[in-house]
Copies of this chain bind each other. A is one copy, B any other.
Amino acid sequence: MPLITYQTLHPGLSIDCVIFGFYQKEIKVLVLKLKNFEKWSLPGGFVDQTKDVDDEATNILKRRTGLKNVFLRQFHLFGDVKRNSDAHINALFNSKIIDNDSLIWFKQRFVTVGYYALIPFSPSQIFTPDNLSESCEWRSLKDIPEMILDHKEIIDSAHKTLKKELNYQPIGLNLLPEQFTMSELQAVYETILEKPLDRRNFRRKILNFAMLIPTKKQRVGGAYRSPYLYQFDLDKYHLALQNGLSSGW
């Protein structure tokens, strides 16, 4: 039986998901180690002819990694002719990742739709990779292993998009505990932007977005004076996700 029942799939179209995790001032990316092959890949797959492309992205992520209920954002179609080559497909075939019957499917020209998500990272989380893959692991964005095709470029493009979107969209919900300090929120921004931010400017800008509710509580137990805790105003947060931050034009 061929690996892929390609008659039911949209020809020449694939999906790749870049899942970013946030952990201790580091961005992680979820990657799959292919069986019998010395390269890694993004969780990806094909689109059923009867399904919406955006829905299939969520289905593919679940099938390949076990991750459920992740809100994926579509960010780019990668459509260069040279992104998949015969040499690459032959290597996959020689490693028995692609069988004889599926070769004609894989030798098509493919364009791929990139999706990304930013999710909380838990060191203890176990992923259940599909049967093409040996394992599914978090890797630091600064230490991505050798990837197949243009998957490294897709990761870099997703990160660039995320950085840009910080200029008009809120971030932090689901990445931080329900109540958090100003410096914990600043750390999320600094991690994504890969640069330090001025503490006072950050505070002024973030409060300007009118999206934070100050609580009367303080985080106690640290070595220094106890900082106040904030939480997101959920209505305003979700409104800003839809319409952009109020600091915009």
Binding site for B on A (CB under 8 A): 10-13, 47, 49-54, 74, 76-77, 79-81, 109, 111, 113, 163-164, 166-168, 189, 193, 197, 205, 244-245, 248-249
Q: A49 to chain B: which residues have CB within 8 Å?
A: 81, 109
Q: Can you list 21 contacts pairing A with B, beta carbon distance less than 8 Å?
A: A10-B109, A11-B12, A12-B13, A47-B111, A49-B81, A49-B109, A52-B80, A53-B77, A53-B79, A53-B80, A54-B80, A74-B76, A77-B77, A77-B113, A79-B113, A163-B244, A166-B248, A167-B248, A168-B168, A193-B249, A205-B249
Q: A193 to chain B: which residues have CB within 8 Å?
A: 249
Main SS of chain A's interface residues? mixed
Bound-complex Cα distance A148 to B186 (A): 47
One complex includes copies of this chain to the number of 2
Bound-complex Cα distance A13 to B10 (A): 10
Q: A47 to chain B: which residues have CB within 8 Å?
A: 79, 111
Bound-complex Cα distance A80 to B249 (A): 31
Contact between A249 and B81, CB atoms less than 8 A apart = no
Contact between B249 and A51, CB atoms less than 8 A apart = no
In whole Å, how far is A174's beta carbon from the nearest beta carbon of chain B? 20
Closest B residue to A205 using CB positions:
B249
Contact between A53 and B167, CB atoms less than 8 A apart = no
Contact between B77 and A249, CB atoms less than 8 A apart = no
Q: A80 to chain B: which residues have CB within 8 Å?
A: 52-54
